[in-house]
Amino acid sequence: MSDDNLGPPPLHPDAVIRYNETWKVAICRTCKIGVHGNALRGHLTQGNHSYRKADWAPILKALDGRPQPMSKADFPRPPHNTPPIPDLQIWDGFACNLCEYVITSQEVMHLRHRKAHPDVPRGSKTFYRPVKVQVKSIAYEYPS
Ligand SMILES: [Zn+2]
Ligand SMILES: [Zn+2]
């Protein structure tokens, strides 16, 4: 038996990507967002990061075979009041009082989401409340 069979190599503790064992998702510590499996390589080679293969290849290798979302739709949706997930940015946002909907844009909450609740009077500002949220791929409210 060789050690090679034990699984993927561990992520370097200083790597920009951290794997969250609780929610089974890779998180970029610099951008403070969740990154799904099919977006990882692009994330590390473009935009905020322009890593060379020597830098991104070990990260992809370490994550290979671990359970993780492979599209935006697959991201975990932790229940409200889940403790903040390390390395994810905390945003000022809004939570609907009538359902679980959470978003950072008051305009979207006020104008667009109101349509989800036809009984709410037009212009009502009382059906949602300000909350601290972790969104951008992983969305939920956490206790402030
Ligand atoms: Zn990043
Ligand atoms: Zn709602």
> Which pLDDT tens digit goes with each residue over 52-87?
999 999 999 999 989 999 988 888 888 777 888 889
Together in a domain, 97 and 70: no
Asked if pLDDT for residue 98 goes beyond 60, the answer is yes
Specify the number of domains making up the chain: 2
Is there a domain that residue 84 lies in? no
d(CA 3, CA 135): 38
Distance 111 CA to ligand 2 centre (A): 12
* Domain assignment of residue 65, given as a range: 3-74
Together in a domain, 20 and 54: yes
Together in a domain, 65 and 118: no
- Identify the nearest ligand to the CA of 96 by its number: 2
- Identify the nearest ligand to the CA of 114 by its number: 2
Distance 95 CA to ligand 2 centre (A): 8
What are residue 129's DSSP bridge partners? Answer: 95
- Identify the nearest ligand to the CA of 29 by its number: 1
d(CA 116, CA 121): 12
- Global confidence as pTM: 0.73
